[in-house]
Structure 1
Amino acid sequence: MQKPLSTSADAPLETRQGVCNLCEAICGLSFQVQGEHIVSIKGNDADPFSRGHVCPKAVALKDVHEDPDRLRRPVKRVGQGTDARWVEISWDEAFDLVARELVQVRQQHGANAVGVYQGNPTVHNWGNITHGPLFMGQLKTRNRFSATSVDQLPHHLTSYWLYGHQFLLPIPDIDRTQYMLMLGGNPLASNGSIMTVPDVRKRLKALQARGGKLVVVDPRRTETAAIADEHLAIKPSGDAAFLLSMVHVLLNESLAKPGHLLPLLKDLEALKAAVAPFSPEATAAQSGIDSATTRRLTRELAQAESGVCYGRMGVSTQVNGVVCQWAIQVINILTGNLDREGGALVTHPAIDLVKTGLIGPGHVGVWHSRVRKAPEFGGELPVSVLAEEILTPGRGQIRAMVTSCGNPVLSTPNGQQLDQALAQLDFMVSVDFYINETTRHAHVILPPTCFVEHDHYDLVFMHFAVRNVARYSPAILPKPEGALHDWEIYAGLAKRYAQHAWALERGGTTQRLKGMLTRSAMSRLRPDQLLALGLRKGAYPLRMKQLRAAPQGIDLGPLRPGLVQGLSKKGRAIPLLPAAIAGELPMLAATLPGAAPDADSLTLIGRRDVRSNNSWMHNSERLVSGKARCVLWMHTEDAARRGLVDGQTVQIISRVGQVAAPVFITPDIRPGVVSLPHGWGHGRQGVKLGVASRHAGVSLNDLTDDQLTDRLSGNAALNSLTVRVAALAQAT
């Protein structure tokens, strides 16, 4: 494998502006560069959006670029198990091998015998978005999966039902709101999520300085909860009951004032009847929040000058995730804060993926998974069913996989089962630049250039940004000789796959020929050329020349209303009580107040760390240095009851597996709840991550249950898991 580029000591020191696209914040950065070497990375004070903010992840861009473990040429696996070794091959050989094997699997077993998994970095690199469909679209498989269904799927499904499009996601107007109720989110660690918000600490402090209030609802006293005006330690999976009780109070205390939204609303009376069982008194046992507090918070939000309710991953990845996200939208609607300054607003990005049709409105249940009959959404099945679709024989069984920028063995439920499933595939190809817990199963790995070696324009996260901005960032360093960008990899795969499919079908059809010609034309256009075309059709008078002249970004102004106007133009109402929700609420009401929990069991939740967004970040020494982060948080009372002491290794046991980790005893988590961070577990055989292997930790998802999902969407219920914890010597 090729070694990283060396430093040119005689080259002049230059300052170049770019971005960090490792998380949703997309912070502007200032790079000091000497030749082909990054000397330093700092926040860009001139960036109108991130305003000089930087977190430890950005500095690690230098580590990724220089990492000797990072692949720089295609590799092919020779042998299996302990005898496996990796051999560099040419791009031509790699493309031919991938195309030949995938076409053969499809011809022998059908299109659905090929599965696709796309990790969350797929939407962080715009080349994946612009050119990935050229290749993925040719596979024509229904077995498509992504990180969406271990994350934000309930957001998309709710927006599809209420507003008619999966990407019409109202974003908190954090810079102007006077009251923010936040559930299951920790933006001080995440830099925002489905709320692109760099420099969030200062923004929240500004909210408080102007007399506003921040309330955080979370089982753990997170970094964000620590600076809030009020923190409520809710029971895990009690969020739906709590939110429904807020809707109940709004409708039964005459606090609902939807104002400008009223002409669009349907089912208001039906909604009131549906939430009748969820009074604050009835839900207190399930949520762990007393009725007086629920009523007070609801009145505060309803009476605030402006306010917004925001819920993130903690409320999405549970058994009632869709109900939670729907209730949050209903609260913003009933308080009149939807499509209102200081409330929740849709964005107006320079490249609008909704208006251009580049992202479709979505659909649900058009087909279902073969084994469990889980519904698709937007053309994807929930990743919780991926392993069983590989392991279960029969027509449609997945026999080959394409993975892109993902590590589902560590990021999806019951990772050990998926690990075993991937090992039995006939063929697997991964677009990735590491040999990690997932890609070690691949037969071929195709490594793209790293983040500082290609240009970037954020096509997705500007739809979630708390301010409208446009920013094109040129590559900080040149593409190394012989390397390919991700868009070039997909263009190459698309061309070679079409050629192999054409040859096998002895000429194919006229439709296939037209498709080949279209893909050939598209593959010759770089992402920046496609961007230039898109800007001409956008809502702003922007051209590439302007973006290139302002690499720090162009401020397009604060969020503004537009959702109501857009829905009105289409003659679309807002159905407050979708049929699926109406059917779900009686089942949820039947669980009130619920059975007393087992005194020996605990509820496991995840945890986010500012230094760790994805598993591959653990191969940066500066991000894993210092105190150990893969530890089990446990409340003081729970530890005392089990006779545990701080730092002791404990066994954590769930239905699907068990792991051992040190315990961290703290009052900053609700009694009865324990927490592990995600993305660890690097001790598996065959992983080629030197730093990460020395800080292996354990995988949260060796415990999470693939059978435990949100009933309406199939989204993984990662924060609803019952576990038992005991001293290692006492484990049975």
Structure 2
Amino acid sequence: MAEQTRYITCVLCEASCGLEVTIDGPSVRSIRGHEADPLSRGHICPKAIALQDLHTDPDRLRTPIRRVGPPGPEATWEPIGWDEAFDLVAERIVAIQAEHGPDAVGVYLGNPNVHSLGAITHGVNLVRTIKSRNTFSATSVDQLPHHLIAMLLYGHQFLLPVPDIDRTQLLVLIGNNPMASNGSMMTVPDFPGRLRELTARGGSLVVLDPRRTETAKVADTHHPVLPGTDAYVLLAIINVLISGGLARPAAYVGGVAEVGRAVAAFTPERAEAMSGMPAAAVIELAHLLADSPAAAVHGRMGVSTQEFGTICQWAVQCINILTGNLDRPGGTMLTTPAIDVIGARIVGPGHLGAWHSRVRGLPEFSGELPVSTLTEEITTPGPGAIKALVCMAGNPVASTPAGDELGAALAGLDFMVAIDFYLGETSRYADVILPPTGPLEREHYDLVFHLLAVRNTARWSPALFDKPSTARHDWEIARELGLRIMRLRAAAEPEGGEASPIERAGTALREAPKNLERQTKFRTTPRQQIDLLLAGLGTGLSVDQLASTPGGVDLGPLEPRLPQRLRTEDKRIHLAQPLVLEAVAKLAARPTAYPQAPADPHGDLLLIGRRAQRDNNSWLHNAPRLISGKPRHRLLINPVDAHSRGISDGDAVTVTSRVGGVRVECTVTDDVMPQVVCLPHGYGHALADGIRLRHAKTLAGVSFNDLSDPETTDGVTGNAVLNGIPVTVVRSAG
């Protein structure tokens, strides 16, 4: 077969870059950025180039395997046929729920699910078919405060304004490092190019972060802020805006006076005392935001994954609203995607506290419990305890708080199935692993990140290679499991029972539409569902049309959409949300940001996380194109803190938190401010029990989440706290 050039979407991160790939039969000859793509504009990062390593990796699973013996060093794995695997998994799920109740089967959904069309169209239906309240996802270690505030202020969990970076004059990023991530909760491929354009038109970038990140290094201004104290700075900015008469919200905004009273205690001077950011700089930033003709503030993981994450995300939205920059070109705006999952009611608006976790009483959000409760929901006996787990494209042992404790809990489950194409830190505890096809073997349309993109586009990504005849797509796996579970349940329905015939008939009638809808969705392909949505929403587009348009269709820049786009009942934004104001009042009454800290003769240090451009959470550390270069898994420590502890660059140190400790080499650098240490997320593949995982081909570092504390969460949502973790650091002997 002659060489061909194909155009696909990279599905490894939120940037969703368009790629131009040259293939020769079964081989990839080159991968480069697609210059004509209207969103990514030719941008590419090293992860996309490594897609070919993932495709050819001999350690990637391609057929189901079953564990023989208990988890541990002595466990072995044997291949198993697809039908046998599907039957085994479905039978165990149905049997465990029949014996212990529907909540006895837990579900965990990892980040890759939102990057797969099949996981969205069919995986969600599998979760609904399982019908367990013990459902968890990566959302609650990442972004839950974003969604709650979007629901409260704008009426829907996915109404998430993004900076209109292509037209802004002032971009303020807080705990946000798009030079490494290409945007997060903001799909902004080619951030470096867009930053150069911002500078060329006379604009500026301001970064608030405890580390001099890749983004902070190219900013016009960088303000170091102690981790976990961002709320004091943001609330002080709101105070300056309202008390100084600088606020100019739109006519459809209410509650400004109540907010002003709530933040009165948060002065710039208090912000300085708590955060280290000078009061004069807080005041100056407030005036810059008020005076700029087009400004946008965006807060990301650094402010979401802390104890005051909900307050921070509310404050970010308040600042954009109060300065008149919400829904203004160059400010923060809402997208107009071709497939509007909000307007089409494909995704619900969200809800908080419809039920609570059994042990600690943390609230669910939109049908999911905070993952910080997962371990205790397994290990605490009693009705509703999790006896089995369905883990879909997730690695919570590596990516959620106290992952080592979670691993021990998973080892005690009655049954576990992982939908995963690697034997990893979490999937190694499974009884059965069902591997889906890889990214180059499946079709894709982005239902999620078009909602967060800085430009409106629509792009269909064809499969680069046909799947092997023995392989299954993730949607095929979800379909088969879902249908078999429904058939087994139907076959097990008792003839009699305590319910009367009339009651049983009523139940059957209520469940029939749901079951019929699930079966219909299971039996259509992802491509068919996208075609139906494009046609039903009157877009004038089709999959065939998009597939024949390399790079997709450019639908133009972001446009003002408010108040019509609001999903609040009265089409107004109510800033004075009681749930948030109550949290603000509690924060105002606290004497310090850190009421509990470990005893350390040298003083407390605060741990934060980080990621590199060549990392993708806990995977891709086996891709040859990504693992070279300087070690990326070292602890960063400021020279002042290193000197006081007798630590030199390259020394091995022991880092200890309330829940655990790790030994790691360190780098002494002023890239982190004093009192702060920084460890990357997603490492730790060399496990304590001696198992060398198949996908770990590098020196694996240590796991950040052996130090994060599941008992410390965001006070409103229960989101995990991964920034501002009190730790001690001492030089290791030997």
Structure 1 segment 189-228 matched on structure 2, within 5 A: 189-228=180-219
Q: Is the 8 A contact 2:441 2:466 kept in 1?
A: yes
User: TM-score, length-normalised on structure 1?
Assistant: 0.96
Structure 1 segment 496-575 matched on structure 2, within 5 A: 496-506=484-494, 509-511=508-510, 515-538=514-537, 540-567=539-566, 570-575=569-574
2:178 paired with 1:175: no
Secondary structure at the counterpart of residue 189 of structure 2: coil
Q: Deviations over 1:176-232 (max 9, x none)?
A: 000111100000100100000000011011111101110000000000001100000
Amino acid at match of 2:100: H
State the distance in 1 between where 2:178 and 2:134 align.
33
Structure 1 segment 639-654 matched on structure 2, within 5 A: 639-654=642-657
Structure 1 segment 474-489 matched on structure 2, within 5 A: 474-489=462-477
Secondary structure at the counterpart of residue 663 of structure 1: strand
2:133 paired with 1:110: no
Q: Deviations over 1:571-596 (max 9, x none)?
A: 23211111111111122112256689
2:370 paired with 1:366: no
Secondary structure at the counterpart of residue 17 of structure 1: strand
Q: Is the 8 A contact 1:435 1:688 kept in 2?
A: no
Task: Give the root-mean-square deviation of aligned CA atoms.
Answer: 1.6
State the distance in 2 between where 1:248 and 1:381 align.
34
Secondary structure at the counterpart of residue 484 of structure 1: coil
Deviates more, 1:284-293 or 1:688-697: 688-697
Partner of 1:331: 319
Amino acid at match of 2:140: S
Partner of 2:302: 314
Amino acid at match of 1:417: E
Amino acid at match of 1:527: P
1:593/1:653 CA distance change after superposition, 3 Å? closer
Q: Is the 8 A contact 1:350 1:539 kept in 2?
A: no
Alpha-carbon offset, residue 720 of structure 1? 2.0
1:572/1:537 CA distance change after superposition, 3 Å? same
State the distance in 2 between where 1:325 and 1:632 align.
28
2:244 paired with 1:253: yes
Secondary structure at the counterpart of residue 182 of structure 1: strand
Alpha-carbon offset, residue 342 of structure 1? 0.6
Structure 1 segment 275-674 matched on structure 2, within 5 A: 275-506=263-494, 509-511=508-510, 515-538=514-537, 540-567=539-566, 570-592=569-591, 599-674=602-677
State the distance in 2 between where 1:246 and 1:396 align.
45
1:594/1:418 CA distance change after superposition, 3 Å? closer
Q: Deviations over 1:106-129 (max 9, x none)?
A: 011001111000001000001000
State the distance in 2 between where 1:512 and 1:284 align.
57
Alpha-carbon offset, residue 133 of structure 1? 2.6
Partner of 2:725: 721
Amino acid at match of 1:363: H
Q: Deviations over 1:51-87 (max 9, x none)?
A: 1111000011101110111110111111122321111
Q: Deviations over 1:316-372 (max 9, x none)?
A: 000000000000000000000011111011111011110111110000011000000
Amino acid at match of 2:585: P
State the distance in 2 between where 1:707 and 1:46 align.
48
Q: Of 63, 66, 70, which aligns to 1:76?
A: 66
Q: Of 693, 699, 706, which aligns to 1:695?
A: 699
1:375/1:572 CA distance change after superposition, 3 Å? same
Alpha-carbon offset, residue 688 of structure 1? 6.2
Alpha-carbon offset, residue 515 of structure 1? 4.5
State the distance in 1 between where 2:574 and 2:336 align.
24
Partner of 1:240: 231
Q: Deviations over 1:539-583 (max 9, x none)?
A: 632122320111311110001111322339952321111111111
State the distance in 1 between where 2:568 and 2:705 align.
45
Q: Is the 8 A contact 2:184 2:300 kept in 1?
A: yes
Amino acid at match of 1:335: T
Partner of 1:4: none
Alpha-carbon offset, residue 614 of structure 1? 2.3
Alpha-carbon offset, residue 665 of structure 1? 0.6
Partner of 1:65: 55
1:89/1:640 CA distance change after superposition, 3 Å? same
Deviates more, 1:33-42 or 1:680-689: 680-689
State the distance in 2 between where 1:91 and 1:155 align.
39
Partner of 2:10: 20
Q: Deviations over 1:372-417 (max 9, x none)?
A: 0000011100000000000000000000000011100000001111
State the identity %. 52
Amino acid at match of 2:451: H
Secondary structure at the counterpart of residue 241 of structure 1: helix
Partner of 1:147: 138
Secondary structure at the counterpart of residue 45 of structure 1: coil
Partner of 2:37: 47
Q: Deviations over 1:10-32 (max 9, x none)?
A: x3211111111100001011111
Q: Is the 8 A contact 1:283 1:593 kept in 2?
A: no
State the distance in 1 between where 2:429 and 2:293 align.
55
Q: Is the 8 A contact 1:70 1:434 kept in 2?
A: yes
Alpha-carbon offset, residue 35 of structure 1? 1.0
State the distance in 2 between where 1:440 and 1:396 align.
25
Secondary structure at the counterpart of residue 309 of structure 1: strand
1:307/1:651 CA distance change after superposition, 3 Å? same
1:593/1:656 CA distance change after superposition, 3 Å? closer
Amino acid at match of 1:240: A
Secondary structure at the counterpart of residue 290 of structure 2: helix
Q: Is the 8 A contact 2:207 2:223 kept in 1?
A: yes
2:702 paired with 1:711: no
Deviates more, 1:238-247 or 1:517-526: 517-526
Q: Is the 8 A contact 1:112 1:398 kept in 2?
A: yes
The unaligned stretches of length 5 or more in structure 1 are 1-10
Amino acid at match of 1:16: R
Partner of 2:498: none
1:83/1:582 CA distance change after superposition, 3 Å? same
Q: Is the 8 A contact 1:619 1:689 kept in 2?
A: no
State the distance in 2 between where 1:208 and 1:628 align.
32
Amino acid at match of 1:709: T
Secondary structure at the counterpart of residue 88 of structure 2: helix
State the distance in 2 between where 1:302 and 1:157 align.
26
State the distance in 1 between where 2:10 and 2:567 align.
38
State the distance in 2 between where 1:565 and 1:673 align.
44
